[in-house]
Amino acid sequence: MGRLPFSALQGFVLAAHAGNLTQAAAQLNLSVSALSHQIRGLEERLDRRLFVRGPRGVDLTPDGAHLLQLVGPQFDAIDRALRQFSTPQSDVLTLSVMPSVASSWLLPRLPTFVAQYPQLQLNLQSSAQLVDFEREPVDAAMRFGPGEWAGLRAEHLFDDWLTPIASPGLIARLGRPTLAKLSQWPLLRDPENVWAKWFRTFGGTPPARYVAYFDDTETLHRAAIEGIGVALGRLTMARPLVDSGQLVLLSTRRLRAEFAHYLVYPPRTEAHPALLAFRGWLLEEARRYSRERECASARGQSRRGG
């Protein structure tokens, strides 16, 4: 059979770790078609199918899992060894951000960062997947979570808050609900069923059933926009939708989300000049955002008290 091509094995390992050919191809600076061609060639050489390809990515077959078990540790060791000889570019920062946070919170604020640091290049990777800083060439990430990730630095940016949101069309059809009658409306449920905590906190009885269930916040908000029902929206993501008139806040009451937003990075990049500049700017933007939201909440409480 001869010696297997190193590049094809590397592509296989990266694709296996990512579960996605697009992400693996980006790390190799290849097109997806080129990487697919390499992996097909490897499968033909081995006479084994290594991946099952689906609409959302790739999964390892039993033969693929066995090959990864054999060669994966060797590639990881090579990657760790080479990292000792690589120095990150001081004027380039690679940042991973969840798509929802990137579009609703970070991108509207980035012009001020670009204006303040025109000499820096910010490479954004929009992904909901957690970064493996040992394998991926990423300097830092913005994440929504508990604030503790093993072996990483995590700096709190801001909390998130939940409040009922609905489309103008749904309100036009059903009227504007009071808190006492909110449970009689069509409600959209999230994976954690935060509605139960909402009713425990502010009163009322949860509905016997929800009209629909969604496993991610972005789809939940989209369902509310389409008028399917009322969602407990995350304000960080929902605010642009409210400002654009696609959604309406149904209450001035707020429920603190269990998780918060953090800047996360490994110890190896904590002194990276581009990260230090971005970190300082980001923390100030987060403080400003928290102050503005506290003032808005105080105004809402004042109106409610009057």
Sign (positive/negative) of CA torsion 38, 39, 43, 44? negative
CA–CA dist 103, 73 (Å, integer): 36
3-class DSSP assignment, residue 262: strand
Q: Is the dihedral of CA 184, 187, 193, 197 positive or negative?
A: negative
Closest CA to 8 of 42, 36, 52, 44: 42
pLDDT of residue 179: 80
pLDDT score for 306:
37
Q: What is the pLDDT of residue 192?
A: 84
What is the predicted pLDDT for the residue at 181?
84
Query: 């989300």: which residue's tokens?
Result: 257
Three-state DSSP at 19 gives coil
Predicted TM-score (pTM) above 0.75? no
Give the up-direction half-sphere exposure of residue 57: CA atoms within 13 A in the CB hemisphere. Answer: 13
* Per-residue pLDDT at 305: 47
Question: How far apart are alpha carbons 200 and 156 in whole angstroms?
Answer: 27
**The amino acid at 157:** L
Set out the domains of the chain in order of their start, with CATH numbers. Answer: 6-83 (1.10.10.10), 88-306 (3.40.190.290)
Encode the chain (306 residues) as per-residue pLDDT tens digits.
556 678 888 889 888 988 888 888 887 878 888 899 999 999 999 999 999 987 778 899 999 999 999 888 887 777 666 555 555 567 899 999 998 899 899 999 999 999 999 999 999 988 878 888 887 889 999 999 999 999 999 999 999 999 999 999 999 999 888 888 888 899 999 888 899 999 999 988 888 899 999 988 889 999 999 999 999 999 999 999 999 999 999 998 999 999 999 999 999 899 999 999 999 999 999 999 999 887 766 665 555 543
Residue 171: the pLDDT is: 94
Residues in the chain: 306
Q: What torsion do the CA atoms of 246, 248, 254, 257 make, to the nearest 10 degrees?
A: -20
Residue from 101, 106, 228, 259 nearest 165 by CA: 228
What pLDDT score does 169 carry? Answer: 96
| Pairwise CA distance, residues 147 & 259, whole Å | 8
- pLDDT score at 197: 93
**Residue 84 in contact with residue 134, Cβ under 8 Å?**
no
Task: List the alpha helices (DSSP H) in the chain.
Answer: 6-18, 21-28, 32-46, 62-83, 99-101, 107-116, 168-174, 194-202, 217-225, 235-243, 273-305
Which H helix or E strand runs over 97? strand 92-97
User: What integer pLDDT is reported at residue 276 of this predicted model?
Assistant: 96
